[in-house]
């Protein structure tokens, strides 16, 4: 990771269709703005000011299009706050417009035509209240639910912190099995620039990297369709690298970062970002004992097969020892041959140590209890 991917983006057919439609709509709006300028010239100013009105209409239309491009990249809650602020401003201005008209009529001489002045003042009132509605709501959107219950612009993520996936965790593939256990109850998030990096790996000339990238894309496709993974439309900030952008995004979303990259993990932890490393999870869940290891255990009863004896570790894990039924009631050294995880707990299989004088260790206590029952 850490590769600069600015400028690299393979567009899907849906993205191309959406972008083309947007260009057509913006072009039509620009022509409509020019038509409004022409209409205003004919109705109010005459054909002598036709060119000025056309230029003004086109300029206003271009300004609106630029504003639309800017605001389309804003978070949804910001757009919702702007929309609700405009609605509030319009509602308040509708209440005050009759008041403005009444004040003007009471102060002006009788018989004077005040319709143009009243219309102008009402327009100013509407603009002012819409401005204050939007600006106030943008600054207080996180606390607005205390003013009007059930209306808020910040999604409560407590208990469902977003889990930001990096490229290494996707390629690793174990995230799918982990999520199938329903241990992690998080909203899965992958930014667009991380997807671009994965696509770049899948297009690599190196066969090994290409296979890893394609496996990552398959995992991503599976997570998107079965786990509701969300692709955030975020571009890589100018002058930034993918690792730094991932840490910044995780902090912005107040979520956790999922990775197998040790350096990225340390970088995030230095900045106080919660990190889940799949390698650390695997280490925590690995068997308490491994094949070839010698342990000391007390045999307490016979097993299901002839010659077997059964004992238990301190965490309740059942140990089945071959050809040891004569040692029941004794504490013996056992050489582990295999360890198995079953739905009801862990089971260890072994045989009596060939060298009885060899010092065997007592297994450490497991963090989880509940081994297989006899």
Q: Average pLDDT of 262-275? A: 90
State how beta strands 256-259 and 163-165 pair: parallel
pLDDT of residue 221: 87
Question: What letter would DSSP give residue 354?
Answer: S
pLDDT of residue 124: 80
State how beta strands 294-302 and 309-312 pair: antiparallel
Query: What confidence category does residue 319 fall into, taking pLDDT thresholds of 50, 70 and 90?
Result: very high
CA distances from 133 to 81, 84, 129, 141 (A): 9, 8, 6, 11
Q: Is 9 helix (H, G, I), strand (E, B) or coil?
A: coil
Q: Give this prediction's pTM.
A: 0.47
Query: What confidence category does residue 308 fall into, taking pLDDT thresholds of 50, 70 and 90?
Result: very high
pLDDT of residue 68: 75
User: Which of residues 367 and 94 earns the better pLDDT score?
Assistant: 94
Fold of 288-374: OB fold (Dihydrolipoamide Acetyltransferase, E2P) (2.40.50)
The residue among 357, 293, 245, 344 whose CA lies nearest residue 2 is: 245
Residues near 328 by beta carbon (within 8 Å), at least 6 away in sequence: 299, 300, 301, 302, 309
The residue among 241, 366, 239, 259 whose CA lies nearest residue 313 is: 366
**Residue 152 pLDDT more than 80?**
no
Count of other CB atoms within 10 angstroms of residue 357: 6
Query: What confidence category does residue 144 fall into, taking pLDDT thresholds of 50, 70 and 90?
Result: low
> Does 163-284 match 288-374 in CATH topology?
no
Cα–Cα dist 194/246, whole Å: 8
Domain positions in the chain: 13-146, 163-284, 288-374
**Residue 170 pLDDT more than 60?**
yes
Q: What is the tens place of the pLDDT at every residue in 56-81?
A: 888 888 888 887 777 666 666 677 77
Query: What confidence category does residue 122 fall into, taking pLDDT thresholds of 50, 70 and 90?
Result: confident
Q: Average pLDDT of 330-358? A: 81
Note the CATH number of domain 163-284: 3.40.50.1010
- DSSP-derived secondary structure for 92-132: HHHHHHHHHHHHHHHHSPTT---HHHHHHHHHHHHHHHHHH
Cα–Cα dist 111/357, whole Å: 120
**Residue 119 pLDDT more than 80?**
no
């Amino acid at each position: 990771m850490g590769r600069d991917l600015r400028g690299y983006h393979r567009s899907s057919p849906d993205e191309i269709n959406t972008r083309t439609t947007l260009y057509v709509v913006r072009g039509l709006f620009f022509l409509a703005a020019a038509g409004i300028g022409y209409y205003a010239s004919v109705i109010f100013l005459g054909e002598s000011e036709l060119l000025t009105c056309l230029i003004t209409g086109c300029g206003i239309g271009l300004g609106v299009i630029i504003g639309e491009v800017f605001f389309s990249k804003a978070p949804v809650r910001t757009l919702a706050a702007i929309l609700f602020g405009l609605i509030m401003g319009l509602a308040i201005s509708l209440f005050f417009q009759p008041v403005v008209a009444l004040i003007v009529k009471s102060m002006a001489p009788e018989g004077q035509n005040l319709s143009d002045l009243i219309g102008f003042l009402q327009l100013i009132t509407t603009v002012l209240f819409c401005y204050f509605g939007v600006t106030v709501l943008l600054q207080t959107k996180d606390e607005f639910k205390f003013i009007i219950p059930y209306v808020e612009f910040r999604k409560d993520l407590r208990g469902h912190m977003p889990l930001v996936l990096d490229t290494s965790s996707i390629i690793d593939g174990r995230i799918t099995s982990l999520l199938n256990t329903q241990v992690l109850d998080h909203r899965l998030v992958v930014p667009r620039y991380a997807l671009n990096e994965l696509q770049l790996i899948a297009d690599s000339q190196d066969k090994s990297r290409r296979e890893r990238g394609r496996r990552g894309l398959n995992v991503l496709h599976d997570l998107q369709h079965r786990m509701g993974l969300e692709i955030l439309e975020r571009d890589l900030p100018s002058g930034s690298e993918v690792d730094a952008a991932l840490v910044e995004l995780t902090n912005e979303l107040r979520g956790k970062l999922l990775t197998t990259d040790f350096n990225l993990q340390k970088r995030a932890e230095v900045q106080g970002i919660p990190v889940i490393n799949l390698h650390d999870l695997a280490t925590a869940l690995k068997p308490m004992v491994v094949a070839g290891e010698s342990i000391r255990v007390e045999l307490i009863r016979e097993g299901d097969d002839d010659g077997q004896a059964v004992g238990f570790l301190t965490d309740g894990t059942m140990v089945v020892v071959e050809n040891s039924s004569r040692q029941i009631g004794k504490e013996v050294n056992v050489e582990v041959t295999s360890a198995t995880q079953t739905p009801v707990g862990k089971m260890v299989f072994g045989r009596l140590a060939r060298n009885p004088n060899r010092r065997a260790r007592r297994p450490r206590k497991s963090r989880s209890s509940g081994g297989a029952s006899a």
